[in-house]
Amino acid sequence: MTATLIVMGDSVGRSGVADLYDACVNPVVLVPVKAFADAKARLAGVLTPAERVALARWTAERVIAAAGELPVFVACDNTEVADWAAAHGATVLWHPGVGLNAAVNDSVADLRSRGVSHVIVAHGDLPRPQSLPSVALPGMLTLVPDARGDGTNVAALPTDLAFEFAYGAGSFRRHLAHAVAAGVPVAVRRDTLLGLDIDTPSDLTHPLVQEVLPSWLPTNPANRTQPPR
């Protein structure tokens, strides 16, 4: 079987595949969220543990909000995260101790068993998530790489598609290669805003990220309440 590959940019709505977005897909959004206290360890040099927890909550809340009217499911193995997800109207998918890849793959299988036909997987560390519903294309796997072309910030696929997620360093190229090798129809969407994530201190200095950083974060240029570190 030969895979279909479509490459799209930010202006996908004006591209030759715009008609695909008009099709009825009816996706749900799946957000894998690790324990807030364990999140963003690479920011330890610029943020305190409490600030990293607050930042992780802030980005995850923005991702849930970007789902709009779509149902949201949160995959987690932490009771604090589960309580937070329920408080924000999300359905909790509990996957203790299995790791990110198994949690996402098991969640997709769980959603399929619940009658869900299409799922959008969006990670919880996106500072400027937008247009999540538009990522879903009928009958196709859609991959949205991070700004470096390394990780996979957002993905969408029919739940009956023969594809397994394999996150970690280089996941975007790995996912794309696996899809092409398996003959899975795949679209790559390069999106300036969805490509932003917060993993390292340099991510906090990106102009598009600094535009939306909360005022309480000390890395916000407008915040002068704490001395330089």
CA distance 137 to 104: 19
The model's pLDDT over 63-117, given as tens digits with 9 standing for 90+, comes to 999 999 999 999 999 999 999 999 999 999 999 988 999 999 999 999 999 999 9
- Domains of the chain, by residue range, sit at 26-210
Residue 20 to residue 11: CA distance in whole angstroms: 14
Residues whose CB is less than 8 angstroms from the CB of residue 216 and which lie 6 or more positions away in sequence, other chains included: 54, 223
Q: What is the CA radius of gyration of the chain?
A: 17
Compute the distance between CA of residue 152 and CA of residue 219 in angstroms, rounded to an integer. 25
Q: Please provide the average confidence, as pLDDT, over all residues in the chain.
A: 89
Q: What is the DSSP letter of 172?
A: H
* 51/43 Cα distance (integer angstroms): 10
pLDDT surpasses 70 at 225: no
CATH architecture group of domain 26-210: Alpha-Beta Complex (3.90)
